[in-house]
Amino acid sequence: MALIQFTDGFTIVPNNAGAAAGEYYLVIGAGGFNPALNDGNITFPNHTTNLGIADPNLILEDASLYINFIDALNVDRTTILTSMTTNSGTIRLSQAAYHIEFSFTPGAFRIHNQYPDDVSVYWNDKVGVPPTGTLDLVSSSGTAFNDAYPITVTISI
Region 97-113: what's the mean pLDDT?
Answer: 96
Tell me what pLDDT residue 19 has.
54
Residue 117 banded pLDDT, cuts 50, 70, 90: confident
Q: For 56-71, give one letter per residue: b (16+ CB within 10 A) or e.
A: bbebbeebbbbbbbbb
Spatial distance between the Cα atoms of 84 and 89, rounded to a whole number of angstroms = 7
Spatial distance between the Cα atoms of 9 and 42, rounded to a whole number of angstroms = 21
Give Cα separations from 149 to 31, 35, 69, 100, 143 (angstroms).
17, 20, 19, 16, 14
Tell me what pLDDT residue 14 has.
37
Asked if residue 19 lies in contact with residue 152, where contact means CB atoms within 8 angstroms, the answer is: no
The DSSP call for residue 1 is -
* pLDDT per position as a tens digit, 6-48: 344 434 333 334 456 789 999 999 999 989 999 999 999 999 9
pLDDT of 65 higher than 80: yes
Spatial distance between the Cα atoms of 77 and 120, rounded to a whole number of angstroms = 10
